[in-house]
Amino acid sequence: MRTNFNIEDPSNKEHLQENPFKVPDGYFHNVRMNISDKISDQNRKINFWTIIRPQLGLVSAFAVVFLFAYTIFQIFPTDNKNELTTTTVISSNSIFVEEGFLNRSFIDFFYSSLDSLTTPNTEINQDELFNYLSENIDLVTLSYLDVKD
């Protein structure tokens, strides 16, 4: 055992600083070629990605908007069918009111004076009825009516 061995001693340092490692023949030439090839590959990948990225962004933006709208419609559905039906009923109802077949529309449904449940039906005078029929309905129609005594 050499107790006076010093790695900073110039005679030791020179020897220890020598490179003890080796590389295979032609290694540095090959590694440069490899790096060059890898960088070309990397370049190709970067080019492809640069082209495809904005298009992917656009497509995904559309997809997000569509999904968002679709989800909104799924959560809060608009009941167009009912609205249409109600509108149609109201309009047809108003025609019947105008024609005289109905004495009220849906609009005045809540007027208590016209409500048959709260207002008693007035008795129809028989004379008035005969007068009305004779004035408004012809004989042929009357003959078809099945009149009870």
Partner 1 sequence: MDDKDLLILFKEEGKGNYAFNLIVEKYSERLYWHIRKMVASHDDANDILQNSFIKAWSALPNFREESKLFTWLYRIATNESLTFLKHAKLRSFLSLSDYSKQVENQLEADPWFDGDNTQRIFRKAIMTLPSKQRAVFNMRYYDEMKYDEISEVLNTSVGALKASYHHAFQKIQKILKASI
**For binding to partner 1 (CB under 8 A), which residues are involved?**
1-3, 5-8, 13, 15-24, 27-28, 31-32, 34-36, 38-40, 42-43
In the complex, what is the shortest distance from the CB of residue 56 to partner 1, in angstroms, rounded to a whole number? Answer: 21
What is the distance between the alpha carbons of residues 130 and 141, in angstroms, rounded to a whole number? 14
Q: Which is nearer to partner 1, 27 or 62 (CB)?
A: 27
Min separation Cβ 57 and partner 1, Å: 21
Give me the torsion for CA of 70, 74, 80, 82, rounded to 10°: 170
CB closer to partner 1 out of 32 and 53: 32
Q: How far is the CB of 7 from partner 1 (least distance, A)?
A: 6
- Nearer Cβ to partner 1, position 13 or 53? 13
Dihedral sign, Cα of residue 130, residue 135, residue 140, residue 141: negative
The residue with tokens 């529309």 is 105
Task: Give CA–CA dist 45/89, Å, rounded.
Answer: 65
